[in-house]
Amino acid sequence: MPPIVSVDSLTKTYGSGFEALKSVSLAIEEGEILALLGPNGAGKTTLISTICGITVPTKGRVTVGGHDILEDYRAARSLIGLVPQEINLEPFERVIDTVRFSRGLFGKAPNDVELDRILDKLSLTDKKTSKIMELSGGMKRRVMIAKALSHEPRILFLDEPTAGVDVELRRDMWETVAELKADGVTIILTTHYIEEAEAIADRVGVINKGEILLVESKAELMAQMGQKELKISLAEPTEAIPYILAEFDLRLSDGGTCLIYTYDRRAERTGITKLLSTLQQTPLELDDIQTQQSSLEDIFVGLVKEQQA
Ligand SMILES: Nc1ncnc2c1ncn2[C@@H]1O[C@H](COP(=O)(O)OP(=O)(O)OP(=O)(O)O)[C@@H](O)[C@H]1O
Would you say residue 169 has pLDDT above 90? no
Each residue of 77-109: pLDDT tens digit? 999 999 998 899 999 999 999 999 999 999 999
Delimiting residues of CATH 3.30.70 domain(s) in the chain: 227-293
Pocket test residue of 16, 18, 208 for ligand 1, highest count of atoms within 8 A of CB = 18
Give the whole-number percent of the chain exceeding pLDDT 90: 66
Is the Cβ atom of 12 under 6 angstroms away from ligand 1?
A: no
pLDDT for position 294: 62
Give the whole-number percent of the chain exceeding pLDDT 70: 93
Nearest C-alpha to atom 18 of ligand 1 is from which residue?
43
Delimiting residues of CATH 3.40.50.300 domain(s) in the chain: 5-223
Domain 227-293 matching CATH 3.30.70: the answer reads yes
Is the Cβ atom of 129 under 6 angstroms away from ligand 1?
A: no
Each residue of 285-304: pLDDT tens digit? 999 999 876 666 666 666 66
Dihedrals phi, psi of 237, to nearest 5 degrees: -65, 150
Q: Which top CATH class is 5-223?
A: alpha beta
Each residue of 217-254: pLDDT tens digit? 988 877 766 678 899 999 999 999 999 999 998 999 99
Distance linking the first and last C-alpha atoms of the chain: 38
| C-alpha 127 – ligand 1 centre gap (Å) | 35
C-alpha angle 102-47-192 in degrees, rounded to nearest 5: 95
Q: What is the mean pLDDT of residues 268-292?
A: 89
C-alpha angle 222-223-229 in degrees, rounded to nearest 5: 100
Q: Name, in order, each residue with C-beta under 8 angstroms of 268's C-beta and a sequence gap of 6 or more.
A: none
Assign 11 a pLDDT band (cuts: 50, 70, 90): very high
